[in-house]
Amino acid sequence: MKKIHLLSEEVAQKIAAGEVVERPVSVVKELVENSIDAGATDVRVELLDGGKRLIKVQDDGSGMDREDAALCFRRHSTSKLATEEDLERIATLGFRGEALASIAAVSRLTLRTQDGADDRGTMIEREGERLVAVTDIAFPRGTSVEVRDLFFNLPARQKFLRSGPSELGPVAKYVTQAALAAPGVRFTLIHGAREVIACPPVMTLRERVFQIFGKKMVDGLMDVAAEEGGGRVEGLASRPLAGRPDKTVQYFFVNGRPVKDRILMAALNQAYAGILERGRSPEAFLFVSLPYADVDVNVHPAKAEVRFKDTQLVFRLVLRAVGEGASRGHTIKEVLPAAGDKGPAGRVAEEGAAWTSRGLGFGPAAVVVTAAAGGDDRLAPGAAARLGGGAELTATSADSQVAKGPAVLGQYENMYIVAAGEDGLLVIDQHNAHERVLFEKYREIDREKIWPRKTLLIPPILELSPSMVVSLETNVVLFEDLGFRVETMGGRSYALKEYPDLFKPEQAVDIFLGLLEEAGQKTAEDRREHMLATLACKTAVKAGEPLNREKMGYLVEELFKTSQPALCPHGRPVVVRIDKSMIDKGLGRK
C-alpha cells in the first residue's frame, strides 16, 4: 500500500512556522529586526499578557507600498536578497523571507503600512492562512504589525506557552539587546499599562547602558577596542577588580546582530583571568565587526548564532581589546566606587531616602519585630522561632552544647569560631556557617510556605530601573511567596508594603533591591534556591561581629545539624580542621 503522500500546504506552513516562531519573544524579535532593517528610528513594542494576547510592533521605517505589503506574507519573499552571491554578504538582520509568513500562519495578524510615497496606507488582515481583508487607510510612514492570539490554530504549541509574566522576561531581554545594538534608535516596551523599557535615542553605547542598567554599572565599565586584519572589536567591559558574581551581563554583537557565541564567551573570560577577583565575572558589551563574507549568519533557525571564518582572529581581538583597556591604568578611585554610592539601577527615590534618614518610618507594627528573639533577632530570626521550634532556636544552655557537637573555645578576630572537635581543632567561618544554617531553615519555611510577614505602615517608595521592573513582573509570585509585597504606584514606582519577618525593617529595602537585581538574571529552575541563598547571606552575622559564647554555641550546634556543614550555600568552605596529630607533631609529642 502506498504510504507516502505530500502534506497539504496548510500543514506544511504550520510546520515551517514552528521553526521560526517558538514563543512571543520569537515574534517580537522578527518584527523588531524588520523595523531595524527598514531604517526605523523609533520602535515601539506593546504586549498584552506577555504577548499571548497581543504583540504589536510599530516603527517609523521605510514602510511598504500596496504591492509589497501583499507580497510580504508569501514564504521566501524578501527585499533583502536577490542572488546566491548575496548570501555571501548579508548586511541586514533578515534575509530568509519567511518570518512574516511564519508569524501570519499561526496567529491573527493585522499589518498597517505606508511608504511615504502618498498618504494612502494599506491595512491587511489575516487569520492563519486566510486573507481576511485589504483596506485603504490613513497611516503615517512606517509599519505596524499586530499579532493576536498566537498559536490559536496550533493548540499543541499554545499549551507550551508559559504565564504572561514569564513570557515577558525573554522579550525584555531581547529588546534590551536590540536597544544596546542601536543607541540612536528609540525603543519602548510596554506590557499592559506599564512602560517596562523606555530608551530615547542617545549618541553612545555608554549612554544606552546607563539608560538600561543605571549609573553603578556604567561607572564600573571601561572602553575597550582592538583592530586587526579587517576585523574590529569594541565596546564596554568591566574595569579591573569590578565585575559581578555571575556571567549574566555579557552581551555580544556581530555586525550589529545580537548573538550567543561560545568563542566570544570563552575569549572574554580568558581575557579577564587575573584582572578580576576569583569567583567574579566581567560585565561586557562587545561589538565585533567583520567583513560580511567572513561571517556565516545562516547557521541557526532563529539566527541567534553565527559562524566565524577565522575564529582565532576573533579570539585574539577580544583578548587584546580587554588587555589593552585594563592596562591603560585606572586610579583606585575609578576602580573602587566610593562608599555610599547609591545602588545601580534601583535607587531609593528621594521620598524614600528622606523617609529613612528622618527615621520616622516604621509604624508600631514594625517595631514589635524583635521582641521574641530578645534584641538581636538574627541568630534566631523571629520567623524561624515561630516555625515550631522556638525553644530550640534560642541560645542553648552550656551543657546541651557539649552534648550536641564540638565545644566552642572562643572567637578569633571576630570572624572565626574556634571549637574543639573529636580529633582536632575546628576553625569555623561565622558568616558562612550562619549562612548555611539559615539557608536550610529558609528552605524549610519555603517548602511549608509559611513566610511570616511584617507590614510597613509607612511604606518606602522605590523607583526601579527597567531591568528591575522586568525582574519584579517576572517573579511576582516568587516574591509574594518569600513575604515581599509591593504595590505599584504608577510608572516605575513601587511601594514596599510587606517584607519577610527575618531582618530589621531598615534592612528591608536593601535586601529587596538586592534580590530583585539577582532574580532577573537567573533561570527559573535555580531562581528560588538562589534567592533563598541570597536571603541567608544578607541575614547572616557578618565577619567582624563579636559573638557571645551562647550564640557561638548555638551556631556551631545548628551548623552540624545541617545537611552540608562543610559548605555555605554559595559553595564556599565553612570549616577548616587542624588535626590533633599535626598539633602533637608540631609540639614534639607522640
Residues at the site binding Mg ion, with contacts judged by CB under 5 A = 34, 94, 99
Residues 6+ apart with CB under 8 A from 14: 105, 106, 153, 154
Q: Which residue is nearest to ligand ATP (CB)?
A: 94
Q: Rounded to an integer, what distance in angstroms lies between the CA atom of residue 328 and that of residue 508?
A: 40
Using rule CB under 6 A, residue 96 touches ligand ATP? yes
∠ CA 73-77-81, rounded to 5°:
145
Closest CA to 240 of 253, 251, 224: 224
Check: CB of residue 429 under 8 Å from CB of residue 575. yes
To ligand ATP, the closest distance from the beta carbon of 142 in angstroms equals: 7
> What residues numbered 12-41 form the site for ligand ATP, per CB under 6 A?
30, 34-35, 38
Residue 196 CB, shortest distance to Mg ion, in Å, is: 23
Q: Which residue of 16, 65, 97, 263 would you call a contact of ligand ATP, by CB under 6 A?
A: 97
CB of 487 within 8 A of CB of 476?
Answer: no
Asked if 190 contacts 45 with a C-beta cutoff of 8 angstroms, the reply is yes
CB of 145 to ligand ATP, least distance (A): 7
By CB under 6 A, tell whether 106 contacts ligand ATP: no
Query: 94 or 243, CB closer to Mg ion?
Result: 94
Q: Which partner from the list ligand ATP, Mg ion, none does 61 bind, CB cut-off 5 to 8 Å by kind?
A: ligand ATP
Smallest gap from residue 333 Cβ to ligand ATP (A) = 47
**Min CB(61)–ligand ATP separation in Å:** 5
Query: Shortest gap between Cβ of 59 and ligand ATP (angstroms)?
Result: 5
CB-count burial class (<10 Å; 0-12, 13-18, 19+) for 329:
exposed
Q: Binding to ligand ATP by residue 80, rule CB under 6 A? A: yes
Q: Yes or no: say if 299 and 306 are a contact pair by the CB < 8 Å rule.
A: yes
Which of 28, 45, 54, 64 is the binder for ligand ATP (CB under 6 A)?
A: 64
The dihedral sign for the CA sequence 103, 249, 506, 373: positive
Residue 100 in contact with ligand ATP, rule: CB under 6 A: yes
Task: Kindly tell me which residue out of 24, 63, 500, 514 binds ligand ATP, with binding defined by CB under 6 A.
Answer: 63
Sorted by sequence, the CB contacts under 8 Å of residue 540 that are 6+ apart come out as 378, 431, 434, 435, 438
The CA-atom distances, in angstroms, between 234 and each of 206, 219, 223, 322 are 12, 17, 8, 9
Chosen from ligand ATP, Mg ion, none, partner binding at 465 (C-beta under 5 to 8 Å by type) = none
Q: Report which residue type is found at 78.
A: T
Binding part of the chain for ligand ATP, among 5-13, 77-85, 347-355, 555-563 by CB under 6 A, reads 77-85
Which H, E and C letters describe 72-131, residue by residue?
CCCCCCCCCCCCCHHHHCCCCCCCCCCHHHHHHHCCEEEEEEECCCCCEEEEEEEECCEE
The nearest distance, CB 118 to ligand ATP, in angstroms, is 16
User: Can you tell me the distance from the alpha carbon of 51 to that of 463, in angstroms, rounded to the nearest whole number?
Assistant: 25
The residue assigned the cell 530570626 is: 381
Residue nearer to ligand ATP on the CB measure, 100 or 417? 100
- Shortest distance in whole angstroms from residue 24 CB to Mg ion: 16
In this chain, which of 95, 148, 232, 425 binds ligand ATP, going by CB under 6 A? Answer: 95
**CB of 34 or CB of 539, closer to Mg ion:** 34
Residue 115 or residue 435: which is nearer to ligand ATP going by CB?
115
Specify the residue for cell string 504550520.
14
250 binds, among Mg ion, ligand ATP, none (CB under 5 to 8 A by kind): none
Based on the shown chain and the rule CB under 6 A, indicate whether residue 55 belongs to the binding site for ligand ATP: no
Nearest-approach distance from CB 461 to Mg ion, in angstroms = 42
CB burial of residue 437 (10 Å; 0-12, 13-18, 19+) = buried
**What is the binding site for ligand ATP (CB under 6 A)?**
30, 34-35, 38, 59, 61-64, 72, 77-80, 94-101, 143
